[in-house]
Amino acid sequence: MGKNKITIMLQTAEDIRLLNEKIGHAAGFVTRINDELSKVIVGQQTMIERLMIGLLSNGHVLLEGVPGLAKTLAIKSLSKTVHAEFSRIQFTPDLLPADVVGTMIYNQAKNEFMVRKGPIFSNFILADEINRAPAKVQSALLEAMQEKQVTIGENTYKLPEPFLVLATQNPIEQEGTYPLPEAQVDRFMLKVIVGYPTKAEEQLIIRQNTMGLTAAPINPVASTSEIITAKELVRQVYIDEKVEHYILDIVFATRFPEKYNLPKLKPLIGFGGSPRASINLALASKAYAFLNKRGYVIPEDVRSICKDVLRHRIGLTYEAEAENVNVEQIVDEILRVVNVP
């Protein structure tokens, strides 16, 4: 731990300049991916940016929004831009854990049991409408998402690299949905709320879908090796100690708001962000800096990605629900009060 701290503190202006050059060179595939996605997706730049952050920081992404907002299309299209394996799992109430991870089957000819691997053994997993399946199926993903491995029978199997779960869910107010368990939700680095397109964007969507035009095919424009290299560079992005303290102050304010001049939030928060919130906020900020071709994190990076990291990690009390207070309002208030370095 001490060695890492010394390495961070010894970053010089020249180190950062060289890292900026490396990132500028390595980030070329990001532009190519965005160009391919723009062939089929109109608008939704925030959603696409968040998917890229998940890809670069090895973090799973949960997209929430009403049907018809191109959530599934965006994930499928992103997977097509990379030379990698893709699996789509449609979550339904009758889905079984074995349908996700695989199972042991009996081979009559060899008189022995064999492993049949499930669709989880891919680079990109689209878990479509993840909250349509009961908790036992959602829990089948826990080991895969956290440890990047799956246990079938007595054997444990490593998952391919990169491995990314990109899930969609309907708002829990909709009929036939199951709230995700807290442990499952916490495995997602980002929870992104997907909103409606603007009027101009929707006009373009109407034209594209009513004029009988065939969408241009999505071409693979990035390799897994490019992504793995980019992920290594993201880890090297410099975070100053003051920015680290800023991240810690934001997360600690969700746990002990009264210590940060936010006593009115105390009765509204049931539980705050875990250490995983701090880790993911730092990693996501690094990935955001990488997307902006910078080798260092600034406070604005942290603020830009903060809601997506924290919105599923703060538990609200009944009092908050009675007062119609949501997590976004709480995070906004924390960002307003916590000192920016």
State pLDDT tens for residues 154-210: 888 898 888 888 888 877 656 667 777 777 788 899 998 888 888 888 888 788 777
What pLDDT does 245 receive? 94
* pLDDT at res. 4: 47
Q: What is the average pLDDT score of the chain? A: 85
Q: Establish if 17 belongs to a structural domain.
A: no
Please tell me the total number of residues recorded for the chain in this structure: 341
- Segment 39-63 mean pLDDT: 86
What is the mean pLDDT of the segment spanning 267-272? 90
Q: Are 191 and 54 in contact (CB under 8 A)?
A: no
In this structure, of 128-137, 276-285, 329-338, the range with the lowest mean pLDDT score is 128-137
CATH number for the domain that contains residue 272: 1.10.8.80
Domain endpoint, select from 181, 215, 236: 236
**63 plus 183 within the same structural domain:** yes
In a domain, 4, yes or no: no
Strand pairing category for 102-107 and 112-117:
antiparallel
Per-residue pLDDT, 11: 65
In the block, which residue shows the tokens 């831009």? 81
Burial (CB < 10 A; 0-12, 13-18, 19+), residue 67, is exposed
Crossing angle for the helix pair 28-37 and 13-26, to the nearest 10 degrees: 40
Structural domain that includes position 287: 237-341
The CATH number linked to 54 is 3.40.50.300
Residue 316 included in any domain: yes
Sole residue written with tokens 């998402």 = 145
DSSP per-residue string spanning 147-179: HSEEEETTEEEEPPSS-EEEEEE--TTSTT--P
Considering the domain architecture, whether residues 141 and 49 belong to the same structural domain is answered as yes
Instruction: Please report how many Cα atoms fall inside a 13 Å half-sphere around the Cα of residue 335, on the Cβ side.
Output: 16
Are residue 251 and residue 162 in the same domain, yes or no? no
Per the listing, tokens 């701290």 go with 5
- Dump pLDDT digits (tens) for 118-151: 899 988 888 888 888 877 787 778 878 888 888 8
Residue 280, token pair as written in the block: 């993911």
The answer to whether residues 167 and 241 belong to one domain is: no
Domain end: 236, 269, 303, which one?
A: 236
> Given 190, 208, 236, which residue is the final one in a domain?
236
Indicate if 89 and 143 belong to the same structural domain.
yes
The contacts of residue 15 (CB under 8 Å, 6+ apart) are 238
> Which residue type does 173 have?
E
Q: What is the mean pLDDT of residues 289-303?
A: 92
- The tally of domains found in the chain comes to 2
> Which residue type is seen at 92?
T
The proportion of the chain whose per-residue pLDDT surpasses 70, expressed as a percent, equals 94
Quick one: pLDDT at residue 66?
A: 78
Q: Domain check: are 262 and 201 in the same one?
A: no
**Three-state SS at 70:** coil
Residues 111 and 260 reside in one and the same domain:
no
Contact between 286 and 337 (Cβ < 8 Å): no
Work out the percent of the chain whose per-residue pLDDT is above 90.
23
Please check whether residues 70 and 194 belong to one and the same domain.
Answer: yes
Residues 85 and 146 in one domain: yes
- For residues 282 and 240, the answer to whether their CB atoms sit within 8 Å is no
Q: How many CB atoms lie within 10 A of CB 161?
A: 13
> If pLDDT is split at 50, 70 and 90, which confidence band does 303 have?
very high
